[in-house]
Chain A
């Protein structure tokens, strides 16, 4: 069964600190892996997209890694800001355009 699991479910950090979110997937066949940021009451916004041949991709303070062998990905947020408070969703795409969504990690950044 195609599944995407994320941890932790929720995370609270202080402004300025770094954090890492985890994603494990059991999806086959695999097309690409994406990380999205979803603010409350808004649609998801893409942060990074990686194919199986890409190990890391950065977007500003966001850096995603992918280990296709162990089927694990992480999203590292550097020097967190209050505006980083959101849900972060790991999504794995299969070749048919279907997206398999993770359950998300809810991040709260406090001053």
Chain B
């Protein structure tokens, strides 16, 4: 099946620094990737939709200047948390859609294992 990886799996950083998280589709090309954030005991919340070769589409309330998304290739999307603060500490999960294996009815998304960000 389709595999999505994330790197790093966890990161601890000081307040004010920037952190980059990578999301890769390992065995398929993903024209669309999604970035989610999940706080403890809560469900996933979509932050932005990342399309290869174009600007990301951010959800309402998500600061695009703070959460920079780059989808430079069909297998890699990156999320950079700029000037991170403790309130940005969360579990960040990406997903990717494989247009070749997903029928129109299913448009299945495959999730990465997540990245735990802790900002001190």
Contact = CB atoms under 8 A, between A and B. Distances in A.
Contacts of B6: 43
Contacts of A102: 43
Interface of B: 4, 6, 32, 42-46, 49, 91, 93, 95, 97, 105-114, 116
A49 B97 contact: no
Given A45-B111, A97-B107, A103 B43 contact: yes
Given A98-B46, A104-B43, A31 B114 contact: no
Given A41-B114, A41-B116, A44-B44, A99 B109 contact: yes
Interface of A: 31-32, 34, 36, 41-46, 49, 51, 89, 93, 97-99, 101-104
B107 to A, nearest CB: 6
Contacts of A36: 111
A42 B113 contact: yes
B108 A99 contact: no
A41 B46 contact: no
A44 B111 contact: yes
A41 B42 CA distance: 12
